[in-house]
């Protein structure tokens, strides 16, 4: 039986935008479980698939092999912030399109050992590539000052209790350092309970997301990669975001660089109601595109 893979979002919209065929070369900057890449390969295109997470690169590579379309696939374990170096060291020319499907895949979010999930009782790690990254979420939460934590919670997740939560964490950790994601999530849940505040998602969702963004330097990576894209010509760029902070970053980049594009989306494309019905994770996704002159 096939393993359960992350379901690619807005896949049809990506194909419509890219119009892939046998003469096209794409970079999937966020390979994940290879869902979008598989579609591009099935249309006969060549794909360079990048993922910072070595586990996901392994999963996607074996899935692509199992689908007998690996002939035109090159897998790369790297950070897309190194896009310029990746393009030159692999001598990639005439790139038809680059896809950034930001955030994490469902298997990463659900993993009980990597620290991304609030059910993780073993770790508070959150590094996409533990083989090269040294800073963990655990180190951030247990050593950063209250001002630094406030900055992370408010900037990356617009958490309304950023100041209070940051202050409380720096007090609590003196006697009880945070060791696991479940411990941190339970702490935030209790904080919300005492405030008599109910939220429709788990109350720790925003804090865990902010920590993940900080641990992996996510915003800086996107900005660096987008600036590298400006050096390309006639390449189509597609970006799928999953939360307002990420989308704002992309929207601002597009607005500031309009003069370099022959086409750009003024409004984001949203998933159809039937896609949302069959893949709940797609509900917050937004697609923005531009094509370089």
Residues that bind ligand SAM (CB under 6 A): 6, 8, 30, 32-36, 50-53, 56, 79-81, 101, 103-105, 128, 221
**Residue among 54 and 160 whose Cβ is closer to ligand SAM:** 54
Q: How far is the CB of 173 from ligand SAM (least distance, A)?
A: 28
Q: How far is the CB of 248 from ligand SAM (least distance, A)?
A: 18
**First-to-last C-alpha distance (Å) of the chain:** 45
> Which residue number places its CB atom closest to ligand SAM?
32
Q: How far is the CB of 267 from ligand SAM (least distance, A)?
A: 22
Residue with tokens 């720096």: 170
**Residue among 114 and 251 whose Cβ is closer to ligand SAM:** 114
**Residue among 96 and 241 whose Cβ is closer to ligand SAM:** 241
Q: Furthest-apart CA pair in the chain: how many Å?
A: 61
- CB burial of 50-63 (b: ≥16 within 10 Å; e: otherwise) equals bbbbebbbebbbeb
Taking the C-alpha atoms of 13, 17, 20 and 24 in order, what is their torsion angle to the nearest 10 degrees? -140
**Residue among 183 and 223 whose Cβ is closer to ligand SAM:** 223
- Interacting residues of 204 by C-beta distance below 8 A, sequence separation 6+: 118, 184, 185, 188, 189
Q: How far is the CB of 183 from ligand SAM (least distance, A)?
A: 24
**Residue among 147 and 230 whose Cβ is closer to ligand SAM:** 230
- Show the DSSP H helices in the chain as ranges: 11-18, 35-42, 54-66, 83-89, 106-110, 137-143, 146-157, 162-175, 181-194, 205-215, 218-229, 244-256, 273-278
**Residue among 20 and 203 whose Cβ is closer to ligand SAM:** 20
Q: How far is the CB of 225 from ligand SAM (least distance, A)?
A: 7
Q: How far is the CB of 47 from ligand SAM (least distance, A)?
A: 11
What would the two tokens of residue 186 be? 């339970």
């Amino acid at each position: 039986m096939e393993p359960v893979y992350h379901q690619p979002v807005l896949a049809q919209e990506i194909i419509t935008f890219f119009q892939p065929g046998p003469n096209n070369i794409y970079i999937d900057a966020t390979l994940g479980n290879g869902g979008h890449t598989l579609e591009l390969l099935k249309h006969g295109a060549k794909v360079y698939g990048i993922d910072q997470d070595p586990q996901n690169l392994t999963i996607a590579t074996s899935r692509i092999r199992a689908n007998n379309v690996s002939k035109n696939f090159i897998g790369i374990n790297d950070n897309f912030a190194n896009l310029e170096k990746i393009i030159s060291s692999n001598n990639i020319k005439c790139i038809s399109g680059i896809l950034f499907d930001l955030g994490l895949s469902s298997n990463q979010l659900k993993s009980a050992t990597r620290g991304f999930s609030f059910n993780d009782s073993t770790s508070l790690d959150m590094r996409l590539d533990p083989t090269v990254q040294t800073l963990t979420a655990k180190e951030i939460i247990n050593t950063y000052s209250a001002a630094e934590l406030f900055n992370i919670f408010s900037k990356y997740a617009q958490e309304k209790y950023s100041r209070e939560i940051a202050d409380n964490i720096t007090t609590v950790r003196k006697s009880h350092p945070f060791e696991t994601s479940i411990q941190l999530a339970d702490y935030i849940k209790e904080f919300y309970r005492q405030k008599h505040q109910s939220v429709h998602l788990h109350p720790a969702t925003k804090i865990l997301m902010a920590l993940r963004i900080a641990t992996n330097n996510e915003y800086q990576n996107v900005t660096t990669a987008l600036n590298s894209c400006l050096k390309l010509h006639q390449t189509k760029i597609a970006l799928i975001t999953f939360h307002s902070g990420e989308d704002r970053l992309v929207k601002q980049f597009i607005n500031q660089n309009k003069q370099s594009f022959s086409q750009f989306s003024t409004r984001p494309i949203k998933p159809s109601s039937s896609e949302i019905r069959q893949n709940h994770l797609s509900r917050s996704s937004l697609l923005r595109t531009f094509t370089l002159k």
